[in-house]
Structure 1
Amino acid sequence: MRNPKVLFLTLYTFSLTGGIEKVCRNFLQVLDVLKDKLKLKDYHSLSLHDKITKQNHKGYKGNKISFGLAALKESFHADIIIISHIHLLIFARMIKLIKPEKQIILFAHGIEVWKPLAKWQQSFLNEIEIWAVSEYTAKQLKQYNQVSPKNIQILNNCLPKNYDKIPVNVTAIRHQYNLTLDDQIILTVCRLSAAEKYKGYDLVILALRDLIKIYPNLRYFIVGAADLLEQKRVLQLVRDCQLEAHVTLTGYAPDAEIEEYYQLADIFAMPSKGEGFGLVFLEAVASGCRVLAGHSDGSKDALLNGELGLLVDPDDSDAIYQGLLQLLNKPASQELIRERQRKVKMHFGFERYVEQVEDLLFDA
């Protein structure tokens, strides 16, 4: 299809800072590039929950009726409708019922599709195109929801545009936490939620009990918003392990500050078993961190099956301890770090992402 019009439907794009929201913001920039290249005639983005409205993007502050009516209206003028999350599938189904000829594409991120869905959803998924963020997510879609492989394409997430061109100064954070140049920093960036206990920071804390006997200057930062119940539980674990001087929960941090933590860190550790992909791993590698991740989910895609970082069993506390010890005992050379940075940009840079989206839209 030449010069199509695209309608992009999201839950959140600018009002939250999680991984899916980053994907949505990156994708809007891709649509801008494709429009500038005259590949797209135009595009519009509608967000169910955003409060922000700007050029080509409108937020509906959680008003499902207004959002649904707007989605239907805009779909009449669009050739391709792309939805950012399975929770918006009902709107795509409404559009398809009224306009069966419309091309529908769904982003499949992770745990939201790693379970049996309603029968109507399973059936509808075989009528549309799905862009899965990893081979693992594609595998789970096939296993749990009987989606035909011919309906699934792999589109890995990407680094933000110009990610490696932003100057970062870590002096303020070093001063804030009284860090010395002898301190070695382990970092995790994630949301702490009582409902999502799969990120692996508990096991990193437990490993730290023994690691500080060898490396007494270790500091562990967990960066991300936390719900009250989970924050209380994790802080109690820290106290039980007598690690108050070594573990810091920073709470929410804006993107610019998170980039400072990446630059500060020696090791990024998140032995998760619930990552659809793991955008944070790309950011960590691009920032020069050594990385430890789990081997049982989409983290494998993000780390190129171990080329960009160390993969361990996320259920094995000793494997996590041994993995961290290995990274501490054998720091990566600058040559290896630069090679990993080159690879992460080659495979997951914004420019590569634009090429992949263009291929999926126009070369299918």
Structure 2
Amino acid sequence: AYARFLSGYCDRIICVSPSVRDYHLARSGLPKSRYTVIRGGIDADAFARSKGKRIQLRGEWGIADDQPLVAFVGRLDHQEGIETLLSAMSHLAARGQAIHLVIGGDGPKRHIIENFIRHGEGGDYCRMLGFVNDVQAVLSAADIFAMPSRWGGFGLAAAEAMAASLPVVAARSPGLRDIISDGETGVMVDPGDVFGLAARIEQLAHDPELRRKLGRAARKHVRQEYSVESMVAAHERLYVEVAADTLAPRSQPIDAGWDE
């Protein structure tokens, strides 16, 4: 209600994705022309994968270079769907799939992950990293990025993984479906679909060529559509447009109510 009240005083409302725009458009009562979608900007070069960091981290974790590794980096809460990922990995471990998982981040669901690892529900294949300072290093070590979020505005973590040429297995949820094309720049499953997520992870884990294909396409997509330069240019164009509309002469003079 507060956002709806404030939006009535805005000349333009910037949304980071079509999903965010559509969500607010359905609730605000404002015309679509009041909204502008400007995607978040990603410095793709900052997330280019490092072979040296891959070797270093995998050595510290005891994971051989040819063993498939899934990474999750994000807030550990209900929104990010971390329980769906844990259940999927537990299912894979029960089927004898030696697929590793590292989880970076913190949040209210951290204790669930710690219990999951402590009880060996993911076999010996799950590792909790806690808060991650060097996301690029973790992405360099990984082969697959999992993002099972139930909802979101933009999917920044997924976009960073795409910039690192990683195939992303993501939930088909608001925000993520705006940046990932299923089968082209990543793969998607329904939110909360444990077995679908497990199947997609298993498929990618055993198909290096598919991982490379999706990863290359993902990085190209981010560089073309989500560059910092494009984001800045879009803001500049919008500011010029709004300023021109604001300063344009009115067709009728305003009666200020003063007596002559």
Q: How far is the alpha carbon of 1:241 from its aligned partner?
A: 5.6
Q: Is 1:186 aligned with 2:67? A: no
Whole-angstrom distance in 1 between the partners of 2:217 and 2:44: 20
1:136 maps to: 19
Q: TM-score, normalised by structure 1?
A: 0.60
1:236 — aligned with what? 115
Of 112, 115, 123, the match for 2:5: 123
Matches within 5 A, 1:1-364: 117-118=1-2, 121-128=3-10, 129-160=12-43, 162-164=45-47, 169-170=52-53, 171-192=55-76, 196-212=77-93, 216-227=97-108, 230-240=109-119, 242-243=121-122, 245-254=124-133, 257-304=134-181, 307-331=184-208, 332=210, 334-364=212-242
Contact 1:212 1:218 in 2 (8 A): yes
Provide the rounded CA distance (Å) in 2 between the counterparts of 1:266 and 1:326. Answer: 12
Q: How many angstroms does 1:189 deviate by? A: 0.7
User: Is the 1:275–1:297 Cα contact (8 Å) retained in structure 2?
Assistant: yes
SS in structure 2 of the partner of residue 296 of structure 1: coil
Distance 1:166 1:211 in 2: 27
| Cα distance between partner residues in 2 of 1:353 and 1:304 | 21
Tell me, in whole angstroms, the C-alpha distance in 1 between the residues paired with 2:28 and 2:183: 28
> How far did 1:306 drift?
5.8
Partner of 1:87: none
In the alignment, the residues of structure 1 paired with residue 44 and residue 201 of structure 2 have an alpha-carbon distance, to the nearest angstrom, of: 31
Task: Kindly state the Cα deviation for residue 126 of structure 1 after the two structures are TM-superposed.
Answer: 2.2
Deviation at 1:327, TM superposition (A): 2.1
**What is the CA–CA distance in structure 2 between the aligned matches of 1:310 and 1:161, rounded to whole Å?**
20
For the 8 Å contact 2:166–2:211, the answer to whether it is kept is: no
| CA distance in 2: counterparts of 1:174 and 1:333, whole angstroms | 19
Matched residues, number = 239
Superimposed CA distance per residue, residues 218-258 of structure 1 (whole angstroms, 9 cap, x where no aligned partner)? 1101111234xx2222222344562252111100111xx21
Which whole-Å deviations, capped at 9, do the CAs of 1:328-349 have from their partners, x for residues lacking one? 2433264553233222100111
% of aligned pairs identical? 22
Is the deviation greater in 303-312 or in 283-292?
Answer: 303-312
> 2-side partners of 1:247 and 1:146: how far apart?
47
SS at match of 2:52: coil
Q: Distance in 2 between matches of 1:321 and 1:220?
A: 12
Q: CA 1:315 to 1:167, structure 2 compared with 1: closer, same or farther past 3 Å?
A: closer
Residue 225 of structure 1 contacts residue 253 of structure 1 at CA under 8 Å; is this kept in 2?
Answer: no
Q: Aligned Cα RMSD in Å?
A: 2.4
Structure 2 alignment gaps of length 5 or more: 243-260
* Amino acid paired to 1:237: F
What is aligned with 2:254?
A: none
Question: Relative contact order, CA 8 A, sep 6+: which one is greater?
Answer: 2
Distance 1:165 1:325 in 2: 25
Measure how far apart 1:215 and its partner are.
6.0
Pick the structure with more strand per residue: 1
Q: Does structure 1 retain, via aligned residues, the 8 Å contact 2:171–2:188?
A: yes
**Letter aligned with residue 252 of structure 1:** F
Return the offset for 1:211: 1.9
1:214 Cα deviation from its structure 2 partner: 5.5
